[in-house]
Structure 1
């Protein structure tokens, strides 16, 4: 039985956002955390594995299964939207991620067609740094 906390990074398309999150998180995660990458497609998963995730999986079932096991989930906001990320996120995936008991840290993206009131218009790097800061804060508690 794995006693480590699971930090799940999700992404689709080429995995660019997930890759950057993993590069930023991997060196600073507490030792009791296992960094897991799950992509909606193999390109995203492979990119996140190359960035430093210890383990990876791909596809709808991988998202559904791992979202239910995760302690913390990070990724683009499109991961909680049915048909998000240009249709790569199935309704089943979106439901699993949004319904997971894990704390979720979602990065806004203008590409998903959703505007979030109260957020500043920042560069992606600023959003990602904020996500990492929030993740580390969540893992401290």
Structure 2
């Protein structure tokens, strides 16, 4: 049986992606963990946090979304021009059109506000996301 392919996508400084990658690497050791940053700083942070491999940029997002079983990242990865403009329309479309399950972290930044979701510390959001990934794997 092949391992579940989990893709973490993040941008800007890669802080959320780093935390997600570290928590997934520790909590789900049997997954194939790939990280894609919208920039090299984000990709490097996730690679150092335990991703098996990492890549950078629009084409890397598009290609890896096609092969992922689960995609994890901030909600902005499905919104064109979010993350201070780092998410291109092609990136958002690739995430949305992927057959993968999407575990999206409700981060209220860059004029994208998710109503009905209370503000929570990033650590709690990361824990909840990892628990959801574990549930999807089962």
Q: Which residue of 1 aligns with 2:41?
A: 43
- How many residue pairs get matched? 138
CA distance in 2, matches of 1:11, 1:48: 9
C-alpha deviation, 1:123, in angstroms: 1.2
Q: Compute the TM-score of the two structures, normalised by the length of structure 1.
A: 0.93
Gaps of 5+ in 2: none
RMSD: 1.3
CA distance in 2, matches of 1:5, 1:125: 24
Gaps of 5+ in 1: none
Q: Which residue of 1 aligns with 2:3?
A: 4
Structure 1 position 119 matched with structure 2 position 135: no
CA distance in 2, matches of 1:66, 1:3: 16
Q: Which residue of 2 aligns with 1:23?
A: 22
- Residues 113 and 70 (structure 1 numbering): CA distance in 2 closer, same or farther, change over 3 Å? same
1:1-141 equivalences in 2 (<5 Å): 3-31=2-30, 33-140=31-138
Runs ≥4 residues deviating over 3 A: none
